[in-house]
Structure 1
Amino acid sequence: MEQTTIRSNPLPIPNKVTQKVASGSPNIGQPMNSSYENQWMLSEEHRVPVRKQFEESKEDANKTKDIPKKPKDTPEAPRKSQKDMTKAERRLMQEQQRMEKQQRLNAGLPKSAKKAAEIEPKKPVVAATVNQDDKAKKTQKTQKIQENDVPWLLHLDTPKRPDSSTLDLHPAVLTLGLYFSEFKIVGSNARCVAMLETFSKASVLFTLEQLLYVSPSDATFSRHIQKHLDPQIAYLLSTRPMSLSMRECIRWLKKEMSDIVEEDPPLSDDDARHRLMDRIEHFIRERITMADRLIVQYGLQKIQDGEVILTYGKSSVVESLLLEAKKKGIEFKVIVVDSRPLFEGKHLIRRLVAAGIDCSYHLLSSVYVALRSVTKVLMGAHALLNNGAVYSRIGSAMVAMAASDKQIPVMICCETYKFVNRTQVDSFVMNEIGNPDALVNTKPTYNANHLDQPTSDVSVLTSWREQPNLRLLNLLYDVTPSKYITLVVTEVGLIPCTSAPVIWREYNEEFGKRE
């Protein structure tokens, strides 16, 4: 007899030959579950394709739509639980819930059906139409404003006019906010000193009549002063975004106020007030004034006779360094590169020329022409980031890259209080946007080379907001990568820019500011 080899099936897949079901089995005639696993386990005759099953569910849904609604008198059938529903029924229910939620959102109601049911009967029809008209007007205004905005920089703060109607703020803080918003106080050192001195006045003098600031009866001065200064800080932040160095000063100030609270035994109100004033004066003297003098002393080592130094914009510490070098009898020339719209270099070149320094003036567009005879580039900084990059006024990166292209050393003068624990590789993650109208020259230009053609009385960019495809961008800062910077002059010495995180860590350990 021939031996028949029986091949063992590794998977218990039922088929016509091997499937044997007992006649008394209760599974006979019962439908199987419609899960993918059970469908795959069925034979090919009983297997239903997924596409066909989806089409059947759509047909079932369409049939349910055609069924007429039951009258209100007839009792509704008990609602099935989701476990008892088929896949098609569950999908239909989810689709209905999604459509109802979308209708509620379009009507201005909350997502939740329960909250919408509470709000809907109370909401009058007239108010809805008024709200829709207000929304339409607001959207039209925002569309007009956003037409001239750069779409990929909408996350940055736009320039705002300070709200001077706030009466619970100190008058010195209101004045300082106006100065900041109108760019009457510029430069990181000047802004930080003005802010700290104003906070010192706000913590001591409460009104214009020189009355002492008195804390409430249920709180001491040391515990209430931070609550008193918080709205002052928020107001300055609303008038103009704070620079990174100002944020470091505020962080230090809050740490000092918390140290006063933790004093044991607790200080009296007068002692706490004098302690806070003394700490602010000490910070300005040690970290800004004395630091600038030390930077000048270290920077003099790098200035020799016959050098041509290029600087960009106006930096207070660079100005002090150049004036001190002239007093020491060093003979050198200075090239000041400037840019719109602030033209800070004009103020610097007036001071240098008055001191007897040989100077020349260039715009940023002609920086490569100015670099022909330059031996050293000297610039200031608003902050030194943790990755060694310099955060400074817009155009600094262009000057540094052009000097690096010509193999000219670039020196940055920066105080250590401007070192921040922040890493930034471009100018678009965080920046400040100035008023774009400041870039528009509304005065007509006179061209002497074309006398036969009369000049226009109106500038070309006067009606730039009416041009739908024209956008003006006025960024105030940029980031200079560390590879374009030769060294940084600080009050602790001449260091490479990559040593910034080490110095930041050392100062945090010394002053107890580590977070």
Structure 2
Amino acid sequence: MKEHHKKDQAQDQQKKGAKDQSKAAAAPAEGAGEKKLSNAELKKKAKEEKAARRAAAKVSQPQPPAGSAPGQAAEGAKGGKPKPKQQQDGPQAAGSQHGKAATPRSAAPMPAPKEAKPSVPECFSHLAMAKGVNLTQADKDVHPAVLMLGQQMSTMAISDSTTRLEATLLAFKKVIDSYTTPHGTTLSRHFTSHVLNPQIVYLTACRPMCFSMGNAIRWLKLQISKIDIDMADSDAKKLLCEAIDSFIHERITLADVVIVSTAADMISPDGGDVILTYAHHHLVERALLRARADGKRFRVILVDDPFERVGLAHAKTLAAAGIPVAYAPDLGALRTNLQEATTVLVAAEAMFSNGAMYARAGTCDVATAAFDLGMRVTALCETINFTERVSIDSLTYNEIDPERNTDEEFRLLFDTTRDKSISAVVTELGICSAKSVPAILRKLEEL
């Protein structure tokens, strides 16, 4: 028993000594391991601990609202001014952007109602359109009278070609009156390029020029070029103003009087005529009123423009003068109305040299339908509206309606009628056929 007890004590002492030796060996090993870390390793370890603390602090911070800008909450907490987005770089900025991308939106925004935006089909992209020009964008040399006229044209306050022509010439008169020739130059060499051209450019930007305006401007430039360079400015300006007055009186005022008188004489005095007309034109209105003043009895069927309804006031004026008027608001019953009529009386905005008529949109429908029924179609037009250009369709020369050029609706202001549908053209030079336009143009050049 004693031997066994001694053996057990010896084993316990051996185990205890082994444990002490292992602890003693481990302690020097740990001390040796701490001594082996270099300065670079210590710095690296400190950076890792610092990055871990930053990550833990960021996770504990609340997320900013979805609508706020990146980094706005952090900048506001510091009390400083928000920095531009491009200045935020590094791990923190990247983390904030990742957090914003991961944040789900609370509610999707409601889609805005679709607006009708201006849209011009490709086949009409070559055509111009009246548009308002900001007065601050106009050339500094544009006269105030021309500025006002351009705004009126862009809003269609002045729409008729002859009215636009007369207003343009009167505005140019004011430009000439206020002009002073600079030292070292002459009126004939300076006025056209430096004064007149800016006025023309501005008016064209507001609305494309009609054919009569182009003819009158070419005439005015010719008159300016004929002025003697030795003539005094006062005399030259007086000469130009008198020439403009004579032009308006002869080519517009007297021309309208002659055309109205001729058209009124064409109406039969027997009282059996039924005249169909389209929309409104001052020449047609004056001709009908003149015929009624002469004691002639007739009826009028007025087919109106379905888009503008300018014929309604025209019908009221005729009815007030004692003329029986049947009013049709659109072209729906055109053939039925034509079967009741005996003649068609319309007015033209211009006449092309090939005999085609340029007039309000819808005139071609009326003239073509009347021609198919074998009816006489008479057009009224001043020779100042004749042009040497040629057109066979409504796409070569036209204007886009500024109020109807969206995806939902699109309209042109004018159309072109072939010469075969026109029976006669009444001008201040008399009654002629549509094919006589080139001969009249040559006659006007000689005058």
TM-score normalised by structure 1 residue count: 0.61
CA deviation string 1:23-53 (max 9, x = no partner): xxxxxxxxxxxxxxxxxxxxxxxxxxxxxxx
Shift of 1:417: 1.2
Shift of 1:147: 8.6
State the secondary structure of the residue aligned to 2:400.
Answer: coil
Q: Which moved more, 1:416-425 or 1:152-161?
A: 152-161
Q: Which moved more, 1:339-348 or 1:196-205?
A: 339-348
Question: 1:252-401 to 2 correspondence within 5 Å?
Answer: 252-260=219-227, 263=228, 266-304=230-268, 305-362=271-328, 363-401=330-368
**Distance in 2 between the 1:333 and 1:281 partners?**
38
Are the equivalent residues in 1 in contact too, given 2:276–2:341 (CA < 8 A)?
yes
List, as ranges, runs of 4+ consecutive aligned residues in structure 1 with deviation greater than 3 Å.
144-148
- Corresponding residue to 2:160 among 166, 187, 197: 187
Amino acid at match of 1:474: R
CA deviation string 1:343-401 (max 9, x = no partner): 22123223222222211211223322321211111111111101001011111100100
1:497 aligns with 2:429: no
State the secondary structure of the residue aligned to 1:216.
Answer: coil
State the secondary structure of the residue aligned to 2:353.
Answer: coil
Q: Which moved more, 1:313-322 or 1:147-156?
A: 147-156
Amino acid at match of 2:141: D
**Distance in 2 between the 1:194 and 1:365 partners?**
36
Shift of 1:317: 1.4
**Distance in 2 between the 1:471 and 1:372 partners?**
34
Amino acid at match of 2:315: I
**Distance in 1 between the 2:146 and 2:295 partners?**
43
Which residue matches 1:39? none
**Distance in 1 between the 2:145 and 2:124 partners?**
33
**Distance in 1 between the 2:217 and 2:302 partners?**
33
CA deviation string 1:260-287 (max 9, x = no partner): 2xx3x73210111011111111111001
State the secondary structure of the residue aligned to 1:371.
Answer: helix
Which residue matches 2:131? 160
Shift of 1:145: 9.4
Larger Rg: 2
Structure 1: gaps (5+ residues)? 1-125, 127-143, 206-212, 439-464, 511-515
**Distance in 2 between the 1:292 and 1:347 partners?**
21
State the secondary structure of the residue aligned to 2:440.
Answer: helix
TM-score normalised by structure 2 residue count: 0.70
Between structures 1 and 2, the one with greater helix share? 2
Shift of 1:146: 8.9
Question: 1:473-512 to 2 correspondence within 5 Å?
Answer: 473-510=410-447
1:177 aligns with 2:150: yes
1:200 aligns with 2:147: no
Are the equivalent residues in 1 in contact too, given 2:298–2:324 (CA < 8 A)?
yes
Are the equivalent residues in 2 in contact too, given 1:382–1:391 (CA < 8 A)?
yes
Inter-CA distance 146–386: structure 2 relative to 1 (3 Å threshold): farther
**Distance in 2 between the 1:432 and 1:311 partners?**
23
Are the equivalent residues in 2 in contact too, given 1:379–1:413 (CA < 8 A)?
yes
Amino acid at match of 1:402: A
Shift of 1:247: 1.2
State the secondary structure of the residue aligned to 2:296.
Answer: coil
State the secondary structure of the residue aligned to 1:423.
Answer: coil
**Distance in 2 between the 1:159 and 1:403 partners?**
32
CA deviation string 1:35-81 (max 9, x = no partner): xxxxxxxxxxxxxxxxxxxxxxxxxxxxxxxxxxxxxxxxxxxxxxx
Amino acid at match of 1:375: T
**Distance in 2 between the 1:299 and 1:158 partners?**
33
**Distance in 2 between the 1:249 and 1:280 partners?**
9
Are the equivalent residues in 1 in contact too, given 2:404–2:410 (CA < 8 A)?
no
Which residue matches 1:225? 191
Inter-CA distance 146–426: structure 2 relative to 1 (3 Å threshold): farther
Question: 1:121-160 to 2 correspondence within 5 Å?
Answer: 148-160=119-131
Are the equivalent residues in 1 in contact too, given 2:188–2:226 (CA < 8 A)?
no
Are the equivalent residues in 2 in contact too, given 1:149–1:471 (CA < 8 A)?
no
**Distance in 1 between the 2:124 and 2:261 partners?**
41
Total equivalences in the alignment: 328
**Distance in 1 between the 2:370 and 2:252 partners?**
28
Shift of 1:295: 1.2
Shift of 1:225: 2.2
Inter-CA distance 163–328: structure 2 relative to 1 (3 Å threshold): same
**Distance in 2 between the 1:480 and 1:196 partners?**
29
- Corresponding residue to 1:423 among 367, 390, 402: 390
Are the equivalent residues in 1 in contact too, given 2:265–2:291 (CA < 8 A)?
no
Inter-CA distance 483–492: structure 2 relative to 1 (3 Å threshold): same
**Distance in 1 between the 2:308 and 2:144 partners?**
27
CA deviation string 1:161-197 (max 9, x = no partner): 2121134321111111111111111211111111111
Shift of 1:471: 4.9
Inter-CA distance 354–147: structure 2 relative to 1 (3 Å threshold): closer
**Distance in 2 between the 1:412 and 1:481 partners?**
12
Structure 2: gaps (5+ residues)? 1-85, 87-114
1:403 aligns with 2:403: no
Question: 1:71-150 to 2 correspondence within 5 Å?
Answer: 148-150=119-121
Are the equivalent residues in 2 in contact too, given 1:148–1:472 (CA < 8 A)?
no
Are the equivalent residues in 2 in contact too, given 1:377–1:410 (CA < 8 A)?
yes
Are the equivalent residues in 2 in contact too, given 1:436–1:472 (CA < 8 A)?
no
CA deviation string 1:280-316 (max 9, x = no partner): 1111100111111111222233101221111112211
